[in-house]
Amino acid sequence: MGLAEQRTAFRFPADFSADCRMAGDAWVSRLCNISTTGCMMVCPEQGLPDGWMLRLRIRGLPAIDAEIIWKHRGHAGLRFLVALHPTALEHMGFRLPEPARPAHRPEPSPVASLAGLRAELVKRTPPDAGLQPGMPSQVRGAPQPLS
């Protein structure tokens, strides 16, 4: 059984460096992607221990504390302890997509829903919409008395 997708934020592909510090060691690493909740980075040659905390410094942002949550083929996934504000990503040149708005659907009329039918409002043009002044017209039906 495969791992379920657990991402909660949109990730952007990235290719920039970050200064990393953990347990007295310091190194520069490349970030492969980033979101408001975490990132993926290239592991240093000596590797990284599971579940440890580290501090990232990305140019133009304050220090970011993160937890190592996975490692695979020379890369590591980090979860930020405090999510980045979306403006931090915008500062780095990324723009979050606009949330999808649900399509507006009119509510069915109460009469139609009582009968188990779904009614939709259809806009129709009046039958005399094509008439213009001076054009002959036809009278349909019997004349009605005025009351």
In a domain, 99, yes or no: no
Asked if residue 33 is part of any domain, the answer here is yes
Domains of the chain: total: 1
Domain-located, residue 111: no
Identify whether 137 is part of a domain: no
Residue 110 lies in a domain: no
In-domain check, residue 21 = yes
Q: What angle (nearest 5°) sits at the alpha carbon of residue 86, between those of residues 80 and 90?
A: 115
What string of pLDDT tens digits covers the 147 residues of the chain?
A: 444 455 567 788 888 899 999 988 899 999 999 999 999 999 887 888 878 899 999 988 899 999 999 988 899 999 999 998 888 888 777 777 676 677 666 665 555 555 555 656 666 666 655 556 665 555 565 566 665
Classify burial at 126, counting beta carbons within 10 Å of its beta carbon; exposed 0-12, middle 13-18, buried 19 or more: exposed
How many Å apart are CA 108 and CA 110, to the nearest integer? 6
Expressed as residue numbers, the domain containing 37 is 12-91
User: Which stretches within the chain are classed as H helix?
Assistant: 86-91, 110-114
Evaluate whether residue 48 is within a structural domain.
yes
Candidates 84, 41, 94; CA nearest to 62 is 84
The partner residues of 99 in beta bridges, in order of sequence, read none
pLDDT digits (tens, 9 = 90+) for 40-75: 999 887 888 878 899 999 988 899 999 999 988 899
The CATH number of residue 43's host domain is 2.40.10.220
Residue 65 forms part of a structural domain:
yes
Question: In the 8-state DSSP scheme, what is residue 93?
Answer: T
